[in-house]
Every structure is written in C-alpha cells, then in structure tokens.
Structure 1
C-alpha cells in the first residue's frame, strides 16, 4: 500500500477526491496525513475521513528555508512513499524538493508547458486559446517545469470566465491525480525514470 502525504493551501477539492477514492479497498494507495501552510479549509476533509493533519504556518518562520526545513521534518515523520502537492500555493525550497524527489508530484490547471505558474487558467483566457487542459507532473526546482506524468486537454468555450473554465478543469485534474497515484502504487508509472535532471 502506497503511503501518501498531501499538502494543501485551500479548499482541497483534489484532496477530497483522493480521500474518497483511497477509502475503497481496491485502491492501492492510502493518505496517511494532510499538511498545510496555513489554516486551510481543506483540512476539514482530513478530519471527516479520520486522517491526521498538520499545519506548518509559513509566517511563523524567519525564512522560506527555515519553513521548508520544518515542513520536511514533519512530512518525513509520516514516512510517505509519495508527496502530493494539491493546491499548495507556495514554492517549496530547493532542499525540500531534492530530499523528496522524485516522489513528489503536483497537479496544474493547464496543459503544460503552456501557462505555468499561479494563474494558469487566467493566463489561458488572456491568451485567447481555444483549449487548455490539466497536468500532473513531478515537482522539480522550477515552476511547473518537471516531467509530465499525465495530461489532458480541456476546451475553452465562448463566454468562459476564469471561474467557469476552472470549474471544468477541476474534475479532469482530480481524475488524472487519482489515476497517477494508482499507477505509481502499482508500478505502471516509474517515478525513478521520471526523475528531474
């Protein structure tokens, strides 16, 4: 059984989908803990499913590196096989990524390498494209630049707003995440082969 720690900053809709799926006996991964960089609404999902949670508040530390060191220590206490960034809206320090790589993945609401960064949906609309997408990647030291594990296109419809487009991308993100975690657990995806260079 693959041991997973999930890190969030917000509502945790991807987290909830993963918790719901991993509650089934036929799913080969289990979320052992949920962490956040703030008091995030998504921590309620962990409580609902009886999953331990922790918070390492970014503002409580003198530097990003100090925060990252504490976060890494806390993550490693759970001995995860995989760390999932699920809406964590903060770049991890390089030392944290190096310590966890390649067993650290992230979802992104765009068809990478198109529209990386915190505003992928807004940027797609601003560019006037007729399609964007969702991606699951291995986290590296860059911004949404790691090896792509799976992705899928999502059309941009006439009249789409940032909210309406994001709401159509989210279910695709959730499905891709659930599939990728399953495939990592079964060995169908070899993270060592996808290790960032």
Structure 2
C-alpha cells in the first residue's frame, strides 16, 4: 500500500537556503512521499518566496504588522496551515518567536534547525557566541520545536571544526553547508516514520 503523502509547510524570513535543500531533496527523489504545500513568510521581500515561486510552490506573505499581538498572528498562521492540510511544519530561517498556539497544535510535528550544537548557544548570533566562548567544535542541530526557545528534543546534529582565524561569517558559512545536509535528512526520517520520541530522547529507527 502506498504511503500517505506528507504535506509540508515552511515558515521563512530570509534567503531560504535550507528551504531550497528540502525542495531539492524532494524533487530529486531523495525524499519521497512528501510535498511542500506552502511557504509562508513574515517578510515580504524574503528571497525564500522567490525560491518557492521558482518551483511552483504557493508563497504567502503574512504581515505581522496587521495583527494586534503575537498570538493573533500565530492564529492566522495556524489557519493557513490547516487550510493547506499541513502534516509537518518546518522553520527555515524563521526569525519570529513562536507562541504556544502553534507549538501545541503541531506538537512533535514542527521542526527547526539551529546553527549550534544545542543546548549550547541558543538564540541569535549562535556562531558569534561560539567564537566568543572559544569552543573548538561547532555545528548545527535539527530539533523538534517546543515553547522554550531552541529547547526541543534533538533529532540530529552535525559538527564542524572551529578554525584559527574564523570569523562569524566564515564559521556560519561552514555550518550552513552541514545545515543543508542535515535538514533534508531529518525531514526524510520524519516522512518515513523513523523517529520515535520518548520525552527528550529521539530514537532513529533503522
């Protein structure tokens, strides 16, 4: 029996390189049984919307300034997600803090990627935080989204060395290469129902 199609919606704010990595993985068949049904941005000029258009994916700009509160905005997003029969929500460079409206509605069905080895260096400027701390290894973390900022259970992580003379920009560029590998890998695991979640522990089935 054919596997049911997984409808994916992606929340974005910027360039959308991780969005592109997932689009490519779906189009080249590495991720099968999944379709991106909507790309939703809080920034009208986000290049991620152009990426969506280039692949005939519906792109939606939802203006936060049109809403009286963060909760009201997330209610709007929730309506869009439901209208598109979304099974999995991806945060791909989405810069707004998400309220419990969304995290509860998509518990264990919302994934984010962060440019550090969580729980180290959550929040903004993770690469700068890593350099200032003096770590020798950094990387990226794909995790489930919970109300706590960058605090959800870890799905997978990839590492990169921190090199002498690294700047925030050079470290970020090296981490981004691994992000573009890790995100499609995590999405594939979700779509293939290979993730088992027990509290904070995520087990990957063979």
Instruction: Calculate the TM-score normalised by the size of structure 1.
Output: 0.94
* Cα displacement string for residues 14-41 of structure 1 (whole angstroms, at most 9, x for unaligned residues): 0011111111245222211111111111
Runs (4+) of structure 1 exceeding 3 A deviation are 194-197
Deviations 1:28-82 (A, max 9, x none): 2221111111111111000000101111111221111111111111111111111
Corresponding residue number in structure 2 for 1:182: 188
Please list every run of 5 or more consecutive structure 2 residues that lacks an aligned counterpart in the other structure.
Answer: 202-206
The one-character-per-residue Cα deviations of 1:124-180 (angstroms, maximum 9, x if unpaired) are: 011111111100000000010000000021111111111110000011111111011
What does residue range 1-197 of structure 1 map to in structure 2 within 5 Å? 1-28=5-32, 29-39=34-44, 40-190=46-196, 193=197
Relative distance call for 1:112 and 1:80 in structure 2 (3 A) is: same
Rounded to whole Å, the distance in 2 between the matches of 1:11 and 1:152 is 21
Separation (CA, whole Å) in 2 of partners of 1:63 and 1:174:
33
| TM-score normalised to structure 2 length | 0.90
Matched position secondary structure for 1:42:
helix
Aligned length in residues: 195
Query: Which deviations, in whole Å up to 9, do the C-alpha atoms of 1:59-106 show, x marking residues without a partner?
Result: 221111111111111111111111000000011111111111110000
Q: Flag the 1:131–1:26 CA change in 2: closer, same or farther, 3 A.
A: closer
Q: Which runs of 5+ in 1 are unaligned?
A: none
The RMSD of aligned alpha carbons is 1.5
Q: What is the aligned partner in structure 1 of residue 204 from structure 2?
A: none
